[in-house]
Structure 1
């Protein structure tokens, strides 16, 4: 939205979004404005007679000023209209008008010139999400039978649509509550659009270098030179007003003079000139930009403002942007040979996709890969990451047949929730290896737009594990793992054979393997240093043929009798004849030192070679753990029965209407909210006198518990703040006197009475809404394990039944739930059901910013929620809002 446009009262800025359309271009979606009247007239004037008739059921060649006024003046509640624009031109309009409390009529109009780009689907998706915010659960629409395109928009959205033909018009009705199918359709469309969008960047046919200078000292010169020397298979055109030719290529004064539609424009001009160049690229119809210029958000101050304006202009013009301050992009495919980067040499062709953010790290990453002779499929440096990010590249890599594994060096993360979702989809078919650096509230690199997070670092690690990501600590480990998963089959299990020609090296290898959680089931077999080549082959064959072996680790020092290359080839031959994983440590061997021998073209089952056994064991353990995650049952999304979301929304909206800034719910409000999601909270009564305590106990029913209501004591247990199993008035009176006398000096004398629960294990179940991560669900055994030892586990909703089970099992204190020292195990299914309900609440309702169920009493017969605290606040916009949006 242009900053000089005056917004009407109630204008919902939070509905604005940049969305990737079906062809990979970007459109800006926003609520309609009263100032859009002339734009609506212009939009209508461009439409064909047929399109006008399809929309209005009449040949209205010109809309009346009265109609346009009605279209553009809405209340953003009962009457809502959205438009999608590119370069401030309206491409599509979608609207709904409320019919009654729960239903509305919806209609769309898409420009003839932009049909087939998925504009109608995007508008429907966003309108449905907005309508649900105001209690609308059902859409109706009237469509002419011949309007097949609009009928397709509804039928392919994933909703259950009913149709009825009346008077030559098709009346459609459908519930807009998200279903598994509608969610899957939206995510599939998002994936396809974003993958196509990145493909136009990574597979361009025409590249222009703007700012390519004659001086070898200029950045533009380097980019042009590297493109040409890599023998890029497409067209390369330098743009420079001050030169006729550069490096033998004819130059053009302006980007608009370059022949043909430019897929990618490399911008290498000083930062103050970038915006003017961007406007010229937009006018020329350039699809995407690679901005390598520095001087933006990384410097702060005016650079931040310049960067924000850069994003606004690029996206407003329908383009994507890599950078600014980017090191560049590379695609090694022989049919592309794209080196639009500062790397003077192309990496070897291979199957590892790489992503980094800063340019300096890009240099280090590529250099490390080159030293190992590890082939690369594609590489991208996001720079300040104002638009194209690791999430976008992962969408592209899902479909890229040239990429078999992915490595990402992440210094920041702008959308962890979306990252988790995409990484999980990618990880199911290809390993995702992540070097994490500085993902915290304090480690954001300059120039990166990241929301502040309050969650513990453990949440980030839990998110990665939940998504099946292979997490490593540095680039060295990234390539250790990558050279294994790219060139070897994944381990089928944890059983390892160790074969070598040194007893000391074999023992060291066995220790390293066992230390990483793997099991040595064969060997270590140690040949003498003077063993023959045939002996080497025999022991290798025996190890690979052993049915109790999943992976083989070979550890050789330079042999005396056999030639080192002969031993290497023997290992390769044994591995090629088996479907088992093979890793090698060749100490001092020539030609394979810290390298992977790759067949020509980057294909074949090469052997990953490591300098030390510890490195090999580390990579093997990571690959094994990833294989286990990939092959396991990931479960189905939790969908607890008996949920009434509308009642919960009424509770929250009622509270926020009175307390707009939010507050903690009182006990009755808390009980009503949780009951709507099938969670019963045991009642308790605060008491201030012994008489009130006895009266409360008799109302609740004996036996009861008398406990302190002070926050510092209420969940501690023990004799300090609680008296249990009180069976009559006399015991309540004695307990009151004891606790009141003991706790009053500590200002903890406020007490409460509650029914006595079945003896069990006290647990904590909670959820928190974080500005960066969105909802985070946590679980732990209450008391000392969580408060002193920080033994608490986390997961990011939405959860599956398997994820809930893993959450329970992942805390160190989990054995107390499962029959520790002969006790009867708790009712795990009931505990899992409670956690599932909490996860659904947190996912459904961003307004629930904090929820603590503590204590949750888990026992063999079930679970009881004995205490609950809920805080609500106005809904913040999530980084992954449930409808397509570039954030």
Structure 2
């Protein structure tokens, strides 16, 4: 459970301790460079960056259309209470204030300097700030390796790092529009494209992103809808300070309850996991929106696990497990905090979350029902008492959930208000959605009174309105002024409410580490990377993976006799190092129905292997396993985020089925494995059909989790695992290991 949003007055005292941080190597990828420092900024440095007692604006101007003018205007118009020093080489006065020709001329301590000059000049000013003991810098200029700045830009970045090396200065940027801190009236943002001072307010929501433009979109949309934003920070190139450094600092500010983050790069794994755990420990919420979610990781191995669990799928699983909540679009970054602000924290639910819906349109009610069902949100039946009361008042009304009081109440204010009030107070749903039609002034007073009555009940009530400029303006402004959680459409409301309920999910229980050495694990670890299918199968069976009876043969007649003992039909497989889709490579013979077919198939495979230069060729013979379903169980080691397990629909079309769920392998319990299975479509079907089979599959998942952690391999694939619903049996019919894995740094947090 996350704590409710609650704005607390007062300014947080700057931190005095220091905490070492680590981040990734300096790289420039696409449009954005990633974090480049070996140590993140100390907390005291971030305090003086985000809430300084004095600030120098270097490159100050009166032209608000330019960086220098916009920063000065924003800083002064929001009532900053600290010392402001304007620096300009060309102007003696800016905004009616005298200027200094340089930072050195200020002659007073400066906590932070906003550098609004070009890239080359910024390096010179940074050196000057270093020499004058300035504690923090915001470098707005581009041209430090991002975009088209190329090699000259990378050279500038190296110069800047050299200038600041060992100085202890905290740096935001380069290539950033800066920051907003409305909680302390400090807004030196170098852009004029945000709502003016009179239309914004501070609040317990903090926004952190690399992109200044994306940050500003969320900031403006949240403020326009009455959601106060305490901090909005754009980290830009992240050459010195990344989104996780900023988020970690903000989570320690008692005035911040939600940190909403937009990620272009998930960043250093250990730091990201540590910050998400920090939020959980403080009972706060971290919302994550990842840009470029569909890109495959460059390191993806040539296996099902590699192609199914792209980079973000792994990162999302690990970060969610650590306490983050993932959203899918920009507006959810303020819509979910709006619900937290209006409703307080969600309560843990024993079952499926429930929603009561009042829609003044039967069509919209059906739409909401569809969306709620797809999102896993129940629409429980209305109470019998409410059903009877409606029948007495409106015999023609369809009484259910969603509830449509019919168009008769439109234009009849008292009936309208009573319909809403009785629905909310006459039922006991965890939350309510009032989906209003667009009726302009005709609806304005009725909707306002109805929402007030609903809120006065003390229930969790939100409203949706299909806004139409010029028609719905009055209704919208009234409801927002009253503090109603109001959405632009019912579809947006359902999505945000679904995420709100998800915040109540408890932290996953800690499971056992795989770690003691056993004979089975030792056997798995001892396998060479080029081990054939038989050795891989034998090692995994020793750990508990269920396989059908099988044997390995170099003699076709011996193979035929074995087939007769296990029963026909059987399958013959070339015993070669692991490869995906062996049948497509001509390495499998299926459906062999007598000894003659077996002997011929084994002889053919042996000859084929010998002709390909395989020494001591052999063939594996197994019974043909029947079953109604084929599923996939896999494991993968991500170089940054560690080992994960996967479950979903299997078979030769596994990559195209796109039905896979991912979870961290570390500490995975049987309960966690069952939840993982149920998150896939095929697993949801199995959970509803046969829970005992789901438990057996969960045991296989836990075994693979143990193996991927202990075995030192990049990936493990069991595909397919055949599910026999009639016999209640699961059997793996193919298995493979992929490569040796590099060690990943997540475990322990700070490696």
Please confirm whether the aligned pair reaches a TM-score higher than 0.5, indicating the same fold. yes
- Matching residue of 2:153: 303
- Aligned CA distance change for structure 1 residues 780 and 743 (closer, same or farther; 3 Å): farther
- Matching residue of 2:180: 330
Are 2:706 and 1:851 aligned?
no
CA drift at 1:851:
3.2
- Mapped contact 1:207–1:235 kept (Cα < 8 A): yes
- Matching residue of 1:437: 291
- Mapped contact 1:690–1:733 kept (Cα < 8 A): no
1:762-781 alignment, distance < 5 Å: 764-771=632-639, 773-780=641-648
- Matching residue of 2:244: 391
- For residues 669 and 574 of structure 1, the distance between their equivalents in structure 2, rounded to whole angstroms, comes to 66
- For residues 537 and 225 of structure 1, the distance between their equivalents in structure 2, rounded to whole angstroms, comes to 46
- Mapped contact 2:635–2:717 kept (Cα < 8 A): yes
1:635-650 alignment, distance < 5 Å: 635-640=509-514, 642-643=516-517
- Matching residue of 1:810: 679
- Structure 1 residues 822-844: Cα deviation after superposition (integer angstroms, max 9, x where no partner): 996662453243033035337xx
- For residues 111 and 47 of structure 2, the distance between their equivalents in structure 1, rounded to whole angstroms, comes to 10
- For residues 763 and 506 of structure 1, the distance between their equivalents in structure 2, rounded to whole angstroms, comes to 36
- Matching residue of 2:451: 571
- Mapped contact 1:540–1:574 kept (Cα < 8 A): yes
- Structure 1 residues 332-354: Cα deviation after superposition (integer angstroms, max 9, x where no partner): 11x44434442463432233221
> How many positions carry a matched residue from both structures?
669
> Unpaired runs of 5+ in structure 2?
1-14, 24-36, 299-305, 382-400
- Matching residue of 2:556: 690
- Aligned CA distance change for structure 1 residues 839 and 548 (closer, same or farther; 3 Å): farther
- Aligned CA distance change for structure 1 residues 794 and 803 (closer, same or farther; 3 Å): same
- Matching residue of 1:884: 750
- Aligned CA distance change for structure 1 residues 430 and 690 (closer, same or farther; 3 Å): same
- Matching residue of 2:169: 319
- Matching residue of 2:59: 211
- Structure 1 residues 213-264: Cα deviation after superposition (integer angstroms, max 9, x where no partner): 4665652333123212211122222234555543344544543554554332
Are 2:711 and 1:834 aligned?
no
- Aligned CA distance change for structure 1 residues 862 and 681 (closer, same or farther; 3 Å): closer
Of stretches 223-232 and 239-248 in structure 1, the one that deviates more from structure 2 is 239-248
Are 2:196 and 1:342 aligned?
no
- For residues 717 and 373 of structure 2, the distance between their equivalents in structure 1, rounded to whole angstroms, comes to 40
Choose from 420, 424, 428 the match for 1:540: 420
- Aligned CA distance change for structure 1 residues 616 and 456 (closer, same or farther; 3 Å): same
- Aligned CA distance change for structure 1 residues 320 and 443 (closer, same or farther; 3 Å): farther
- For residues 332 and 388 of structure 1, the distance between their equivalents in structure 2, rounded to whole angstroms, comes to 21
Larger RCO (CA within 8 A; separation ≥ 6) = 2
Choose from 357, 361, 384 the match for 1:498: 357
Structure with more strand by fraction: 1
- Matching residue of 1:608: 485
- For residues 320 and 400 of structure 1, the distance between their equivalents in structure 2, rounded to whole angstroms, comes to 18
Choose from 606, 610, 620 the match for 1:753: 620
TM-score normalized with structure 2 length: 0.73
- For residues 223 and 178 of structure 2, the distance between their equivalents in structure 1, rounded to whole angstroms, comes to 17
SS, match of residue 84 in structure 2: strand
1:332-481 alignment, distance < 5 Å: 332-333=182-183, 335-343=184-192, 345-346=196-197, 347-415=200-268, 418-420=271-273, 422-423=275-276, 425-426=278-279, 429-439=283-293, 441=295, 455=310, 458-459=313-314, 462=317, 466=321, 469-481=324-336
- Aligned CA distance change for structure 1 residues 194 and 569 (closer, same or farther; 3 Å): farther
1:700-739 alignment, distance < 5 Å: 707-709=572-574, 711=579, 714=582, 721-722=589-590, 735-739=598-602
TM-score normalized with structure 1 length: 0.63
- Structure 1 residues 125-166: Cα deviation after superposition (integer angstroms, max 9, x where no partner): xxxxxxxxxxxxxxxxxxxxxxxxxxxxxxxxxxxxxxxxxx
- For residues 240 and 463 of structure 1, the distance between their equivalents in structure 2, rounded to whole angstroms, comes to 48
- For residues 605 and 539 of structure 2, the distance between their equivalents in structure 1, rounded to whole angstroms, comes to 35
- Mapped contact 1:593–1:611 kept (Cα < 8 A): no
- Mapped contact 1:502–1:528 kept (Cα < 8 A): no
- Aligned CA distance change for structure 1 residues 471 and 328 (closer, same or farther; 3 Å): same
CA drift at 1:607:
0.8
- Mapped contact 1:373–1:595 kept (Cα < 8 A): no
Considering only aligned residues, what root-mean-square deviation do their CA atoms show, in Å?
5.0
> Unpaired runs of 5+ in structure 1?
1-20, 30-86, 89-121, 123-189, 445-451, 600-605, 656-662
- Aligned CA distance change for structure 1 residues 563 and 718 (closer, same or farther; 3 Å): same
SS, match of residue 813 in structure 1: helix
CA drift at 1:378:
0.8
- Aligned CA distance change for structure 1 residues 352 and 787 (closer, same or farther; 3 Å): closer
Are 2:496 and 1:619 aligned?
yes
- Aligned CA distance change for structure 1 residues 765 and 642 (closer, same or farther; 3 Å): farther
- Structure 1 residues 348-381: Cα deviation after superposition (integer angstroms, max 9, x where no partner): 2233221232233334333323432332111011
- Matching residue of 1:68: none
- Aligned CA distance change for structure 1 residues 501 and 763 (closer, same or farther; 3 Å): closer
- Structure 1 residues 441-477: Cα deviation after superposition (integer angstroms, max 9, x where no partner): 5899xxxxxxx99926644554565456554443345
- Mapped contact 1:291–1:321 kept (Cα < 8 A): yes
Are 2:462 and 1:582 aligned?
yes
- Aligned CA distance change for structure 1 residues 694 and 589 (closer, same or farther; 3 Å): closer
CA drift at 1:327:
1.1
- Mapped contact 1:455–1:770 kept (Cα < 8 A): no
Are 2:340 and 1:485 aligned?
yes
SS, match of residue 677 in structure 2: helix
- For residues 120 and 558 of structure 2, the distance between their equivalents in structure 1, rounded to whole angstroms, comes to 74
CA drift at 1:871:
1.4
- For residues 274 and 466 of structure 2, the distance between their equivalents in structure 1, rounded to whole angstroms, comes to 39
CA drift at 1:872:
1.2
- Aligned CA distance change for structure 1 residues 348 and 367 (closer, same or farther; 3 Å): same
